[in-house]
């Protein structure tokens, strides 16, 4: 059973050397760094669970449909765990987390073409954070501080207190109690960071989806394009379902969903996109426990630059 103290210990183990920069956050910098650490450590349990593939009881089949995409998902989660550099315009850059304040416009507006603070504060549903397309920057919006850092954990209490209910093969109710936290908010943005323009977004076809049933509905079509893998919230939901030990999720191969490509052959392993060079997490495969997973020393050889 995981406790808050356990999360902190894991965080210390993982983030021995910072591989990112935090800017313009003033006194909020320690809180932002803590949230980043929580996003990183949120990958630990899913990296262990993903070995089960579609046999996982925590929603892998609902979100990814097929073992064909195991290595893709592993690679993405490993990058979020260790936050390696990302390739931008032919150059490797450290991930950058910048707090969007009122005076930030002059520094970034000319390069981005918009004012980050304005984007954070306008509209009926302004973002709590966002990844700036074609950059290594994740902007932290003022409303980010209103989110809880992570789901509350009560020692000795069941972990599934925030788990969803499935009726008639669909999630029912609101997903906010499961995912509306700083840790998962940053997981969402880090998927955008590492997938860059291959991630689904508002201007892609199909567009990015956020609703959990819409995530289940996304098809695991043949390479080179799989919306299930490229939609950031599919990883957010899978991560949350694992960490909260939730065991109910819709079957993507039963009504009202359908998967015409993979059908009942969802366990078949097919080739991945030609531009994805995927490597195992270690020479002997992923360790069977958290200690050996965190003991990996040569991370450079385990990750492929985006």
Bridge partners of residue 88, in order along the sequence? 91
Give the CA dihedral 128, 32, 145, 13, nearest 10 degrees.
Answer: 100
Is the pLDDT at 219 greater than 60, yes or no?
Answer: yes
Give 206: exposed, middle or buried? Use CB within 10 Å, 0-12, 13-18, 19+: middle
| Model confidence pLDDT, tens digit, residues 78-122 | 999 999 999 999 999 999 999 999 988 777 887 888 999 999 998
**Distance in Å from the first CA to the final CA of the chain:** 35
Looking at per-residue pLDDT, the higher value among 13 and 291 belongs to 13
Please give the model's pTM, rounded to 2 decimal places.
Answer: 0.81
d(CA 60, CA 70): 9
Q: Report the pLDDT averaged over residues 37-43.
A: 97
| Model confidence pLDDT, tens digit, residues 134-177 | 999 999 999 999 999 998 765 555 555 688 999 999 999 899 99
């Amino acid at each position: 059973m995981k406790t808050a103290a356990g999360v902190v210990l894991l965080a210390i183990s993982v983030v021995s050397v910072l591989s990112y920069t935090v800017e313009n956050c003033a006194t909020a910098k320690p809180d932002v760094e803590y949230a980043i650490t929580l996003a990183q450590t949120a990958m630990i349990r899913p990296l262990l669970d993903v070995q089960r593939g579609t046999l996982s009881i925590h929603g892998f089949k609902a979100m990814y449909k097929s073992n064909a995409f195991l290595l893709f998902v592993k690679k993405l989660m490993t990058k979020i765990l260790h936050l390696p550099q990302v390739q931008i315009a032919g150059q490797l850059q450290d991930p950058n987390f910048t707090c969007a304040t009122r005076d930030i416009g002059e520094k970034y507006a000319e390069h981005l073409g918009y004012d980050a603070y304005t984007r954070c504060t306008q509209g009926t549903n302004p973002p709590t954070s966002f990844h700036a397309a074609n950059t290594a920057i994740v902007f932290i919006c003022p409303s980010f501080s209103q989110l809880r850092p992570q789901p509350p954990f009560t020692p000795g209490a069941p972990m599934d207190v925030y788990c969803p209910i499935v009726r008639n093969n669909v999630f029912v109710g609101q997903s906010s109690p499961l995912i509306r936290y700083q840790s998962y908010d940053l997981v969402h943005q880090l998927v955008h960071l590492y997938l860059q323009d291959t991630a689904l977004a508002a201007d892609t076809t199909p567009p990015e989806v956020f609703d959990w049933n819409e995530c289940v509905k996304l098809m695991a079509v043949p390479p080179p394009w799989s919306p299930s893998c490229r939609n950031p919230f599919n990883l957010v939901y899978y991560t949350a379902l694992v960490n909260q030990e939730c065991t109910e999720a819709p079957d993507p191969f039963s009504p009202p969903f359908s998967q015409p490509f993979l059908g009942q052959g969802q366990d078949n392993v097919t080739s991945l996109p030609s531009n994805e060079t995927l490597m195992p997490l270690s020479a002997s495969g992923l360790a069977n426990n958290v200690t050996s997973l965190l003991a990996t020393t040569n991370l450079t050889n385990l990750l492929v630059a985006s």
